[in-house]
């Protein structure tokens, strides 16, 4: 996984938007709620939301740690991208998108054509 591959994958997910926050983080959102964050400079790292069960499993792996400021919401930070296979990247980023999307109000989901 790299920045270009992540960006292409995220932008294929319905109603995804991207923007730069905090001056150097590329954020992918659905309904203005972030589901994946990566830096635009420096080593390639990615943060995303997982289930509580997966949080423990993933943070037990080398190169995957609780995401700063967001760990309490079950976000992980992948510091070593090679720790996840291509299939796992797709699974976890898609799942993060779905977890965030599931919390959006029905009215917004309808506006975004996600219902």
- pTM value is 0.95
The pLDDT of residue 113 is 94
Domains of the chain, residue spans: 3-109
The per-residue pLDDT for range 38-66, each reduced to its tens digit, is: 999 889 999 999 999 999 999 999 999 99
SS3 content of the chain, % helix, strand, coil (to 5): 40, 25, 35
Fold of 3-109: 3.90.1150
**Three-state helix/strand/coil letters over 10-50:** HHHCCCEEEEEECCCEEEEEECCEEEEEEECCCCCCEEEEC
């Amino acid at each position: 996984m790299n920045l270009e591959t992540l960006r292409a994958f995220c932008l294929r997910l319905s109603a995804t938007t991207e923007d730069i926050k905090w001056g150097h983080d590329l954020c992918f959102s659905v309904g203005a709620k972030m589901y994946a964050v990566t830096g635009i400079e420096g080593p390639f790292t990615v943060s995303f939301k997982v289930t509580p069960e997966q949080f423990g499993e993933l943070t037990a792996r080398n190169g995957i740690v609780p995401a700063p400021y967001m760990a309490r919401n079950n976000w992980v930070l992948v510091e070593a991208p090679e720790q996840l296979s291509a299939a796992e990247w797709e699974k976890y980023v898609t799942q993060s998108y779905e977890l965030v999307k599931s919390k959006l109000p029905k009215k917004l989901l309808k506006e975004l054509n996600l219902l």
